[in-house]
Amino acid sequence: MTALEGKHIVLGVCGGIAAYKAAELVRLYKKAGAHVRVLMTPHAHRFVTPLTLGTLSEEEVHTEIFPPNEKGSWTRHVEIGLWADIMVVAPATAQTVAKLADGTCDSMLTAVALSRRCPLLVCPAMDHDMYMHAATQGNMDTLRHRGDIVMEAAHGELASGLVGEGRLPEPADIVNTTIRVLTEAAPRRSGPLAGQALTVTAGPTREPIDPVRFISNHSSGTMGFAIAETAARLGAEVTLISGPVALPTPAGVARRVDVETTADMHEAVLARGADDVIIMVAAVADYTPASASTRKIKKDGHGLALELVPTVDILADLGSRKQRHQRLIGFALETHDGLENARGKLARKNLDWIVLNILGEEGAGFGAGTNKVTILGADGSTVKLPVLPKAEVAAAIVHHTLLGV
């Protein structure tokens, strides 16, 4: 396993002659096991195609802040910023270095640079005189004072024919610096769960019917967020994958990934598929429309029949892939025959624990500040908890399942 395995890297590519080297950088990151999303400035398109970088990264390349059609997510810059473990700008032109220094927000690259919560690594590449200019040097100093990492440009022959400082550092050196920054940035965690990577899913999912309507449920995300917070406090490196909720990221959570549909959540969870613990708290939709209309469905005075098809069973999929070191915890929300149904689900999906909520019991369920759960173990154990505030329920679940207390 390499130091970049499973890491989320946002690579910003600017309009400089060295942009072609971004392709090699993406290849090296991917080879090291990282997930890469590329953002290009509009001028970068003049030097290298989004098709090349999109193909190598296996992700859509973004340039504009505004979505290309009405359907797109206008908060994508926030989502990408939160997704990233590190943002690398390579090559960084004099123009973009200036924008990063003064906080200009006029493209997806500069918007993500402002909304990210991760370290920023800037790799300048330009002609020698542009690089040495007091304005450029001052902008790089501003970034360094702010805590961003700016690599020194390499010395050598430049595209202009001049020789001097200004070359993009070698892609392999950028990869090594990326590893160093990520290692230093990882906060030292202490506590009984230190050293464990843990993923929690939370909230509902949304299955689109047409551009304005969807099928969803009442999940508020509170329970999953409380579990993420507890696990982070106990030292785990927590990834929180959340459906649409109105909750801030809890303190100590290493990364948050926001998703909409069950299929998106499945993909996000699989990206964390090697984590030591996966806790599926999300109230995932079991059915999705067979096809979503691209246009708003008009009212015509008649009934409307929606054909629904099953969504992917994320828990069952995780259970079938479970590795020896992993623990898998599911949640079951039942309205009747709770214990029996939960036991069945525990066995069928190869879980280690299942947490049962019974809807309709006083103090339990969606939105309420409290919850009442029963924790069932694959070892046959059953622990019934009284009605407690959700933060205390979260603490009890984490302590009981992961620490055995």
Ligand X SMILES: Cc1cc2nc3c(=O)[nH]c(=O)nc-3n(C[C@H](O)[C@H](O)[C@H](O)COP(=O)(O)O)c2cc1C
Catalytic residues: 217
Contacts with ligand X, residue ranges (CB under 6 A): 14-18, 41, 43-44, 93-96, 125-126, 130
Task: Name the minimum Å distance from CB 93 to ligand X.
Answer: 3
CA distance 310 to 215: 13
385 and 214 in contact (C-beta within 8 Å)?
Answer: no
User: Within 10 A of 50 (CB to CB), how many other CB atoms are there?
Assistant: 17
Q: Which is nearer to ligand X, 58 or 141 (CB)?
A: 141
Give the angle subtended at the CA of 52 by the CAs of 50 and 58, to the nearest 5°.
Answer: 90
Q: Which is nearer to ligand X, 133 or 213 (CB)?
A: 133
17 or 179, CB closer to ligand X?
Answer: 17
Q: Of the two residues 43 and 343, which places its CB atom closer to ligand X in the complex?
A: 43
Q: Shortest gap between Cβ of 175 and ligand X (angstroms)?
A: 20
Please work out, in degrees rounded to the nearest 5, the angle formed at the alpha carbon of residue 165 by the alpha carbons of 161 and 171.
95
139: closest CA among 113, 100, 169?
100
DSSP state of 298: P
Question: CB 399 → ligand X: shortest distance, Å?
Answer: 51
Measured from the CB atom, is 14 or 354 closer to ligand X? 14
Using a 10 angstrom Cβ sphere, with 0-12 exposed, 13-18 middle and 19 or more buried, the burial of residue 66 is exposed
Distance (Å, whole) CA 121 – CA 221: 33
Q: How far apart are CA 155 and CA 164, in angstroms?
A: 5
Query: Closest separation between CB of residue 78 and ligand X, Å?
Result: 21
Say how far apart CA 226 and CA 398 lie, in whole Å: 10
Instruction: Supply the minimum distance, in Å, between the C-beta of residue 115 and ligand X.
Output: 18
Residue 237: both structure tokens together:
């490196």
